[in-house]
Amino acid sequence: MRVYVLIMVLAAVITYLLVPLMHRMSLHIGAMTELRERDIHRVPVARLGGIAMYAGFVLSLVIATQIPYLEKVLASNSSVWAIVLGAGLMCLLGVIDDIWELAWYAKLAGQVLAAGVMAWLGVQLVTLPLLGLTVGSTRLTLFVTIIAVVVVVNAVNFIDGLDGLAAGIIGIAALAFLFYAYYLTRETSPGDYTSFATATVAALVGACAGFLPHNFHPARIFMGDSGSMMLGTVISGATIIITGQIDPALVSTPTAVPAYLPLIVPLVILAIPLVDLLWGFIRRIARGKSPFSADTGHVHYRLIDYGFSHTRAVVVLYMWTALLSFTVVAAVVFPVGYVIPVFVVCAVGAFFVSIVIYVVGRRRAARKLIQTVEDTGARENTHVVEEAGTLIERIEQ
C-alpha cells in the first residue's frame, strides 16, 4: 500500500505545480469561461486545469514504472497505457471544446472515438461478475465498453458545475475504489498484491488532490471538459479492468467477496454523478430538449436554489459521496449484516448534518443581508430587512 501512497503523492505534487502554468497558458490563448446565466461565477475563469491533471496522472505512472515493486505489472501490461491513451484523447477533445465550444454531437462522436480506442487496445468489459454472466462476441464487448465509458464520462462532465465539486467527488470515489481494488487483488491473487488498476486509481486520486487547492471556492482555475472527461475515462477504465475482467469463479468462492458486489461497487461509488446524469436526460427529454443541452436542474444547482451556499453545497455532496462509497467498500470487507446498521446510523447523522449546514447557512445569509442594508442606510430597502428578519425567525423555529 505504501507504493500506492507514493504514486498519489507524486501525482498530487506534479499536478499542483503544473496548474499555475496552465493558468498562464489559459490567459495567453484566451481559454476562459464565458459568463452564462446558469453559471455561479461572475468573472471569467481559466479553464485548462485538466491538462495539469492529466500530466500529473501520466507522469506519476511513468515514474512508478521505475519502482521494482510495480515495474513488471506496469511496464508489461498494455491496458494501463490504453487507459492513458484513451484519457489523453479525451483530454485533447476537452481542450478543443474548452477553446472552440464544439457542438454536442461532435463532442459525443469524439467521446465514442476515444472510448473505442481504449477498448480496442484491451480495456474491455468482458464479464459481469454476477451469476457468471459473460458479454458475448467481440463486437458486443466493444459496444458495451464504449457505452459504459461514454456514460461515466458524461456523468462526471455534468457534475462539474461548482468549484471543487467534480475533483472532490471523483477523488473521494477513486479513493474508495482504490481500497476496494487493493482488497480484491489480495483476495484473487494471494501473495501478489501488485495491481496496475490500483496504481492507476492511486494516480487519479493524487491528480484530484493536487488540483483541488486551486479549484476550491473561489476557484482560480477550472478543470474544464479536458479535466472532467479525463477523470471519467480513467475511473471507468479502472473499473472495467477490476470488475469487468475478473474471473467470476474467483469472486464467487467462499473466501472471496460476494458475487454481486463487484458489479454494485462502481455503481454505488459513482451514484451521485450517474443518478444526476440519468435524471438530467429524463428531465430534458420530457421537455422536448436535447439530452445534452445545458440547464440548471442538476443536483448541485438544486442545492444552491434551496439556500445552500456554494461551499456548503459542495461539502454536503462530498459527505454523501464518502458515505455511499466507503459503505459499499466496507460491505466487501465486513459482513453485510454489520455494515447495514452502521450505514443507517451514518446516513441519519449525515441527514441531520446536512440540515444543520443548511440552517446555519441561511441564518448567516439573512443576518449578512440585514447588516449590509443597514450599513448602506438605504431606507427604500426596509422591506428587505423585514423579510430577512422573518426568515431568521422561521429558521429558529
Radius of gyration of the chain (CA): 22
Segment among 12-16, 74-78, 204-208, 364-368 with least mean pLDDT: 364-368
Q: What are phi and psi of 260, to 5 degrees?
A: -85, -20
Long-range contacts of 294-303 (CB under 8 A, 24+ apart): 294/36, 294/38, 295/38, 296/38, 298/158, 298/159, 298/161, 299/159, 299/272, 299/275, 300/159, 300/161, 300/162, 300/165, 301/38, 301/161
Residues in the chain: 397
pLDDT the model gives residue 94? 96
Would you tell me the crossing angle of helices 224-243 and 49-64 to the nearest 10 degrees?
40
The grid coordinates of residue 171 equal 477523488
Q: Residue 70's pLDDT band (boundaries 50, 70, 90)? A: confident
The grid coordinates of residue 383 equal 422591506
- Provide the whole-model pTM: 0.85
For residue 229, give the amino acid letter.
Answer: M
pLDDT tens readout for residues 109-161: 999 999 999 999 988 887 665 545 565 667 888 998 999 999 999 999 989 88
Would you tell me the crossing angle of helices 271-286 and 310-333 to the nearest 10 degrees?
120
pLDDT the model gives residue 200? 92
For range 90-97, the mean pLDDT: 96
DSSP string, 178-241: HHHHHHHHHHHSTT----HHHHHHHHHHHHHHHHHHHHSSSPSB--HHHHHHHHHHHHHHHHHH
Question: Chain-wide mean pLDDT for the chain?
Answer: 82
pLDDT tens readout for residues 333-356: 787 788 888 889 888 888 888 888
User: pLDDT higher for 13 or 270?
Assistant: 13
- pLDDT above 80: residue 366: no
Q: What are phi and psi of 127, to 5 degrees?
A: -130, 155
Closest CA to 274 of 130, 190, 158: 158
Q: Which residues of 53-87 are buried (b: 16+ CB within 10 A; e: fewer)?
A: bbbbbbbbbebbeeeeebeebbeebebbbbbbbbb
pLDDT the model gives residue 197? 82
Angle at 220 between CA 152 and CA 154, to 5 degrees: 10
pLDDT the model gives residue 124? 87
pLDDT tens readout for residues 241-299: 877 555 545 554 443 445 456 567 778 888 888 888 888 888 888 888 878 777 777 78
